[in-house]
Every structure is written in structure tokens, then in C-alpha cells.
Amino acid sequence: MLRPRVIVCLDVQDGRVVKGTNFRGLRDVGDPVELAARYEAEGADEIVFLDISASHEGRGTLLETVQRTARVLFIPLTVGGGVRTEHDMNALLRAGADKVSVNSGAVNDPDMLTRSAALFGRQCVVASLDAARVEAGTPLGEGPDAPRAPEAGWYHHTHGGRRATPLEAVAWARRCAELGAGEILLTSMDRDGVRTGYDLALTRAVSDAVDVPVIASGGAGEASHLRDGFTEGGAAAVLVAGILHDGLTTVEALKAELMGWGIPVRPVPASEPEAA
């Protein structure tokens, strides 16, 4: 049977893993290559690098980081952040990413999802959704002419969650899957860094609406949150970051608890002397 996945996310800036709350107040937590390898040994099912470098230099550093990581990591690596075109995607895949996640790039040019899927296979194409709940009448975009939310709901955001779009999140997720995305990385902006659990209603709404796997993200504080992401949210995978980087728990401990509740996650492998 297909195992529910526990994915570890590392925010990468200028070649270092950084950590923050609600996309603010960053601090350095280590080397991405070392941390990725450590999480594989702990039993992580996949690794995600989310590049939050603002500069061009930072982007070059990312390719080099991905290359170094691919040499030592033998679980899947997804890389995202700043991907605009299928050429950006190709560069990351050739550097050693297995999948690439796209946010703004798909909003600006939805067809790039289709072109990328045709070139690389849709299993490489991850649509990243940053969804936040807004009230009716909230401006969705910049400037005085920005449209306003016709009703309360979850809307997709770009630019690290700072910029609202008029795209209703569930509909946008469905559209991304139709266009060619093979997976949806669904982050709740409201829960990100808060550690009170995933937004289960949002996760369930998107999981029910699309026929591709959904990764729940934003809000993991303890193992029961992961469990609920699978059982109540209907997620195929859950993303965990802060509680691991802060040393509050380990992937192994989280998986042991999940297995105790009957969630058939992949068992943590024994030590692996053969990894190069």
C-alpha cells in the first residue's frame, strides 16, 4: 500500500537553512546538505527546499546547493522558490532536484504548468499554493483598482504570502492539476509557524477537489497534527519544518507516534552504512 508521507521542509536563503515565523524574523539553522542527509537518516520520506533568496546571487547559490545535496541524498528532493519558466525548472532538475514547485510562475503564466509537464513529466511539477482566509471585501492585489473578495474564503497568495491574488484557492488548485501539476503543496498562511495544526478544512476541501496528491503544510506542532492531516484533511503527505529544526522532536519520534495510531507510514530504516 502507498504510505502516507512525512516530508521535511527547509527554507533556504543564500545557501543556508533559515527559519522564521510567518515569513519574518529569520535565523540561521544550518547547512542544507547536512540537514537533508540527517533527516533522511531519521526517516524523512522526502525533502523540500524552499528558496527564499531575494538576490540573483542567491539563486546561483541554490543550484550549487541542490547539486551538492543530490550527491548525498537518496530520497526525493523538491525545490521551489522563484521558478518562472520551464527553463528555470529544467535548471533545477538538471542540478539534481526530482520535483520543482511553482507559485507565482504559474499565476503569471498558467500554461507553463502544461509545457513543463509535457517536457519533464507531470510527476516533476508541483503547484505551490499559499492560501489565507480573507473576509468579503478584502482587496485581492495591489493598488486602488485591485478586485475585492466577493465573499469570505481562502485565496491564493504570491510573493511568500505577502500578495493576495483573486484566485480562490480550491478552484486554483483544481486548475493547476488540470493544467499539468502532478502534486499540490498546500500551505495555510494562517497556520504557518503557529503550531496549532494544519488548516484541516482547507486541506480537506482541496484534497476532495483534485485528483493529484496534496501535501498539507503550515501549522504542524505535534504528531497528532500530522495524523489529523491524513485522516481529517485527506492529505497524501504532510510537511514538517520548525518543530524539527528547533529540536523539539524527530522524524523518527513522529513516525513512531503515527504508527501507534495505525497510520501506516514507512518505517524508519535501520542505520545505513552504505549511503555514500
- Catalytic site residues? 11, 130
Query: Which H/E stretch holds residue 116?
Result: helix 111-120
**Binding-site member from 10, 29, 220, 237 for other proteins (CB under 8 A):** 237
Q: What span, in angstroms and rounded, lies between the C-alpha atoms of 266 and 45?
A: 8
Binding window for other proteins (CB under 8 A); candidates: 25-33, 53-61, 122-130, 132-140: 122-130
Question: Could you give the 3-state DSSP secondary structure of residue 59?
Answer: helix
Q: Are strands 214-217 and 153-158 parallel, antiparallel or unpaired?
A: unpaired
269 binds other proteins (CB under 8 A): yes
Binding window for other proteins (CB under 8 A); candidates: 27-35, 118-126, 150-158, 191-199: 118-126
263 binds other proteins (CB under 8 A): yes
Q: Count CB-CB contacts under 10 A for residue 246.
A: 11
**Identity at 44, one-letter amino acid code:** A
Residue 147 contacts residue 141 (beta carbons within 8 Å): yes
Question: Taking the mean position of all CA atoms in its chain, how far away is CA 170?
Answer: 16
Binding window for other proteins (CB under 8 A); candidates: 138-146, 164-172, 218-226, 267-275: 267-275
Binding mask 151-190 for other proteins (x = CB under 8 A): -------------------------------xx-------
**Binding-site member from 35, 93, 112, 149 for other proteins (CB under 8 A):** 93
Q: What span, in angstroms and rounded, lies between the C-alpha atoms of 255 and 268?
A: 8
Q: How many residues of this chain interact with other proteins, rule: CB under 8 A? A: 56
63 binds other proteins (CB under 8 A): no
32 binds other proteins (CB under 8 A): no
Q: What would the grid cell of residue 3 be?
A: 504510505
Least distance from other proteins to the Cβ atom of residue 151, Å? 29
95 binds other proteins (CB under 8 A): yes
**Binding-site member from 10, 35, 36, 97 for other proteins (CB under 8 A):** 97
Residue with cell 508521507: 5
Q: Which of residues 209-228 bind other proteins (CB under 8 A)?
A: 211-213
Q: What is the DSSP string of 11-37?
A: EEETTEEEEEETTEEEEEEE-HHHHHH
129 binds other proteins (CB under 8 A): no
Least distance from other proteins to the Cβ atom of residue 273, Å? 7
Residue 104 contacts residue 81 (beta carbons within 8 Å): no
| Interacting residues of 249 by C-beta distance below 8 A, sequence separation 6+ | 222, 223, 243
- Which residues here bind other proteins, judged by CB under 8 A? 1-5, 40, 45, 67, 70-76, 90, 93-99, 117-124, 182-183, 211-213, 236-237, 256, 259-260, 262-276
